Structure 1
Amino acid sequence: MYDPGCYGGEPFFVARDPGDQEAEEDDGYVVTYVHDEVAGESKFLVMDAKSPELEIVAAVRLPRRVPYGFHGLFVKESDINKL
């Protein structure tokens, strides 16, 4: 699914509006890290979960390589504020 020489990490689903109980189950984004072995670059990808081909809506080049097997954890700001 990625360009030749590119390898992705663990994908994670992020709801567009986590509080919307009426939202469709794919109403959100799939996010992941991808490393390009040819260019030597890592990117953070944001893809539209409703798109049949997971259309990329944002690609952020990262200043350092993200190692394979890296796991992401995404926490809502409201949960962090409870700590």
Structure 2
Amino acid sequence: MPKISGIVKLDMSLSEVHQQECIVACRMFGPGCFGGEPFFVAKEPDNPDADEDDGYIVSHVHNEKTRESRFLVMDAKSPTLEIICVLKLPHRVPYGFHGLFVRESDINKL
């Protein structure tokens, strides 16, 4: 299982049009820290006029040195993917764990 040591946000249109670097944001988790699959969560999922990256990047991160796990909420628009919230997890989440975010309105339709 590969270990994810950080998150990189790409803008592929920069590469196609301007022939320039397409990395527009980056967050490394630090020495001995590895994360799970990052997810984008829109601030306003029902707003068709919202910017494409108007929301949050979320991921769990495990520190192999301290054996502590945390859930990170990062600003998706920030060039450093600024951490805006950190939650300490009571248990370790395994690498490779997949998640799915579903709106309450979609669940209520079931």
Scaled by the length of structure 1, the TM-score of the pair is: 0.96
Structure with greater contact order relative to length (CA < 8 Å, sep ≥ 6): 1
Identity of counterpart residues, as a percentage? 69
1:26 to 53, 60, 63: 53
Residue segments in structure 2 that go unaligned for 5+ positions in a row = 1-27
Scaled by the length of structure 2, the TM-score of the pair is: 0.73
In 2, Cα distance between equivalents of 1:45 and 1:65:
14
In 2, Cα distance between equivalents of 1:82 and 1:33:
29
The structure whose Rg is larger is 2
Moved segments of 4+, more than 2 Å: none
Matched with 2:91 is 64
Match for 1:5: what amino acid?
A: G
Alpha-carbon deviations, 1:4-36, whole Å to 9, x = none? 110011000000100111111010000011001
In 2, Cα distance between equivalents of 1:82 and 1:22:
24
3-state SS of 2:84 partner: strand
Q: CA deviation at 1:3?
A: 1.5
Q: CA deviation at 1:72?
A: 1.2
In 2, Cα distance between equivalents of 1:81 and 1:24:
27
Match for 2:60: what amino acid?
A: Y
